[in-house]
Amino acid sequence: MLQKTVEILLVEDSIDDAELTIREMKKHRLANELFHVQDGAEAIDYIFCKGKFADRTIEQRPKLVLLDIQMPKLNGIEVLEAIKSDERTKTIPVVMLTSSKEDPDIKRCYELGANSYIVKPVNFDAFTAAIRSIHYYWLLLNETPVK
Amino acid sequence: MIIALTLLTVAVSAVTIISIWQSQRIKNFNAEITRYEENRYLMQQLTMAVLDNETGARGFVITGQRNFLEQMIVSERKLDELRIDLLKRTTHPVLSKLLNDSLSPIIDLRKEFSWQMVALVNSNKTEEAKKLVLSGVGKHYTDETRRIAAKIDTIRSSLLNEKRTANEAFVRDLNGFLILILLIILVLSIFNFRQLARIYKRQKETELQLRQGEQLYAALFYKSPIAKWIVAPETSTMLDVNDSFCTLFNIARENVIGKTTAETGLANSPGIKEAVFQQLSEKGCVRNLEYKTILANGEIKWVSMSIDPIKLDGKDCFVGASADITSIKEKEQLIAEMNAGLEQKVLEKTAELRKNEKKLQELNDSLERMVEHRTAQLSVANKEMEAFSYSVSHDLRAPLRGIIGFTNIIQEDYGAGMQEEEKRLFAIIRKNTEKMGHLIDDLLDFSRLGRKEISKTTVDSQALVQEIIDEMSKENPRTDAVEWKTSQLLPVQADLATIRQVWVNLISNAVKYSKSNPKPIIEIGSYSEANQTVFFVKDNGVGFDEQYKNKLFQVFQRLHNESEFEGTGIGLALVQKIITRHEGKVWATGEINKGACFYFSLPNETYATKNS
């Protein structure tokens, strides 16, 4: 599994939110090659092939990163900063996940180069619609959509 | 006066000169007359001499006696003398010509004729000589001579007469002129006399005034309430003092006048003489020199002295004026003592004030510290509040997402096997969870507004409201039934984002609460009133009970059951908060089942100044 080219990297500390997100993405056939890490530190290790992901190569870049802002250890903003300040990774599209559209961090994320953000709504139907909009990025990156 | 006197002198001089001239002229004329008489006499002599000549010559011829010949020779000499003398004395050209050209040749002929006869006699040709006498030639010469002489006399006489007439005319004219000058002299004399009389009168008046002035100044000196004195500086003798002087210095008049200043014992104050001399040498006078003196009876007096130089009978003197300022000085001293007391009091009060100021400063400092402390506390509280909001936003919503998400999964995955009641219960869970989500969102909105900046721009209320209505019509089919009555809305200075929220809340409320009415009418309008613009949204819905209207704008306060009208109770509280932050007001009127009207006002000073 580790050798496989990951299409989408989901960085989400809440297992529940992650499960719901993955389920929704699967429903829309977006999660076939999705990898989930639980905090910022793990995300950095994964992207920059360090720690337990040391056997990965940096060229095996995920096509999209879904990045939760509020996380323990390294938060989403720090991870975003790391991705966008490295020449090898800064072209990876990053979509931020946030609990509130009024989050003051959203502005900061855009400044650092985030491509978009999705509010994780309480009403799950709305969230589903939001996940669906990720499709847009998918089409942008892949000429052939994932089956 | 001087001009008149000068004229008078000139006139008198003229009279004198003219008189001298006139007398001189008369004298000259008299001399002329004398000369005339003399000339006439000489002429007669000349005629006589011619006769003598003829007589001599003839007598000699007839008698042959020698004495006739002598007579002839004598007359001949006399003739020459007279002729020369007359020529000398004659200046008039006509007369000179007559003498030279007419008389002289005739005389010469006469003389020659006589000698001719004498010669004939001497050559004994007496008969021929007698014939010559009888021929009458000699007589002719004699008559001719007399005739010319008479002619000369006549001319001379007429010349004299001419002169006399001219002289008389001249004297007459001169006399007229003299009378004129004398008249002028008379006029000038009268004028001068009058002037002199006037000068004399004036002098008398001046003398009188002088005398009155002297009396006045004497009165001013002697009757003055200020002590006055006159001193001769050479001898330091007191010349005069007035009564006030005697009263002031408590001294008899006879003990002062004629005494030296030292003898009067009044110049006893130390340093006073030096001060007087100094002022006199610097200014030439003394002004208000104040000094203390002790009188003979031991009384102490304060005196203010002024001294001025004057001339009395040509002598340099000083007149002095001394005023008693003892009472003033005593009062001054009293005031000085009081001032000193006052100053002491002021110093004490100032010290007290300083102490109070210091205390106040300390209080201020402590207050400032307290304010700083409180501000810091407030800032911490604000940060905590933000952190809390953040936490609410993120952490409270996460479990809700779990509840709703996993409930959905159950419904999706196991819904097919579920009973209707199970489905209904799941739906209730879901609805409640969603509602909690809304509550959290609204509460966050409400608290966030307190921190948000208000940035005012000109808001086109008309366009904004129309846009909101259009949007609402798309989302909410209920609005189709609504009859909108919007009048032209006034533009206003406001923060667009928040004022939009106000309109959305009020309009959506109006739609919501008028749904029970089969013909809902919503009226939106505005008007200007005392520097503010008032907007209102009026509906014909369920209205409200006015006795609860104070609860309308409070958070989570609702006047209707939720089953009737959905909502969290945040909308109007938010409206009030926004309008308050705009320094405006919100209020409402309503009646149950007869609709409600919500008003809000915004100040328009800034609007007015920007557009003027």
Instruction: Please tell me the distance in Å from B466's CA to the nearest CA on chain A.
Output: 26
Of B404, B437, B444, the CB nearest to A102: B444
Is residue A11 within 8 Å of A118, Cβ to Cβ? no
Whether pLDDT at B99 is above 70: yes
Phi, psi (5° rounding) for residue B516? -70, -25
For chains A and B, CB pairs below 8 A equal 52
Is residue B517 within 8 Å of B529, Cβ to Cβ? no
**B433: chain A residues, CB-CB within 8 Å:** 122
Is residue B152 within 8 Å of B91, Cβ to Cβ? no
pLDDT at B358: 93
- Give the model's confidence band at B19: pLDDT under 50 very low, under 70 low, under 90 confident, else very high: confident
Chain A contact probe: residue of B392, B393, B401, B436 with most A CBs at under 10 A:
B401
What does the alpha-carbon distance between residue B386 and residue B581 come to, in Å, rounded to a whole number? Answer: 19
Q: Is B413 helix (H, G, I), strand (E, B) or coil?
A: helix
Residues B302-324: pLDDT tens digits? 899 999 998 888 888 899 998 88
Lowest mean pLDDT among B2-11, B376-385, B582-591: B376-385
Q: Judge whether A99 is closer than 8 Å to chain B, CB to CB.
A: yes
Q: Is B567 helix (H, G, I), strand (E, B) or coil?
A: coil
**Which residue on chain A is closest to B444 by alpha carbon?**
A102
Residues B339-395: pLDDT tens digits? 999 999 999 999 999 999 999 999 999 999 989 998 888 888 877 777 777 676 667
How many CB atoms lie under 10 A from the CB of residue A124? Answer: 22
Interface list for chain B against chain A, based on CB atoms closer than 8 Å: 390, 393-394, 397-398, 400-402, 404-406, 408-409, 433-434, 436-437, 444-445, 448
Token couple for B539: 């509906």
pLDDT at B530: 84
pLDDT at B601: 94
Give the H or E element holding residue B521.
Answer: strand B521-529
Q: Judge whether A70 is closer than 8 Å to chain B, CB to CB.
A: yes
Is residue B527 within 8 Å of B602, Cβ to Cβ? no
**A123: chain B residues, CB-CB within 8 Å:** 404, 434, 437
- Helical axes B420-449 vs B571-581, angle rounded to 10°: 10
Q: Judge whether A115 is closer than 8 Å to chain B, CB to CB.
A: no
**A102: chain B residues, CB-CB within 8 Å:** 393, 444-445, 448
Instruction: Please tell me the distance in Å from A15's CA to the nearest CA on chain B.
Output: 10
Whether pLDDT at B555 is above 80: no
Q: Per-residue pLDDT averaged across B271-297, rounded?
A: 87
Of B394, B404, B445, the CB nearest to A99: B394
Is residue A25 within 8 Å of A131, Cβ to Cβ? yes
**A100 burial class (0-12, 13-18, 19+ CB within 10 angstroms)?**
buried
Q: Is B379 helix (H, G, I), strand (E, B) or coil?
A: helix
Of B390, B437, B448, the CB nearest to A122: B437
Residues B191-207: pLDDT tens digits? 989 999 999 999 999 99
Chain B contact probe: residue of A19, A122, A124, A131 with most B CBs at under 10 A:
A122
Question: What does the mean pLDDT of chain A come to?
Answer: 79
Instruction: Please tell me the distance in Å from A31's CA to the nearest CA on chain B.
Output: 17
Residues B471-499: pLDDT tens digits? 888 887 777 788 899 888 999 989 888 89
Q: Judge whether A113 is closer than 8 Å to chain B, CB to CB.
A: no
Q: Where are the alpha helices (DSSP H) in B64-136?
A: 66-89, 93-97, 104-122, 126-134
Is residue B54 within 8 Å of B83, Cβ to Cβ? no
pLDDT at B337: 92
Residues B418-430: pLDDT tens digits? 888 888 888 888 8
Q: Per-residue pLDDT averaged across B44-61, rounded?
A: 87
Is B401 in Cβ contact with A120 (below 8 Å)?
yes
Is residue B498 within 8 Å of B577, Cβ to Cβ? no
Helix, strand, coil fractions of chain A, as percent rounded to 5: 40, 15, 45
Is B398 in Cβ contact with A99 (below 8 Å)?
yes
Instruction: Please tell me the distance in Å from A70's CA to the nearest CA on chain B.
Output: 8
Of A23, A102, A124, the CB nearest to B404: A124
- Give the model's confidence band at A137: pLDDT under 50 very low, under 70 low, under 90 confident, else very high: low
Of B394, B405, B444, the CB nearest to A70: B394
CA distances to A30, A65, A79, B60 from A134, rounded to whole Å, are 9, 11, 20, 208
Q: Judge whether A17 is closer than 8 Å to chain B, CB to CB.
A: yes
Map tokens 């997100």 to a residue.
Answer: A21
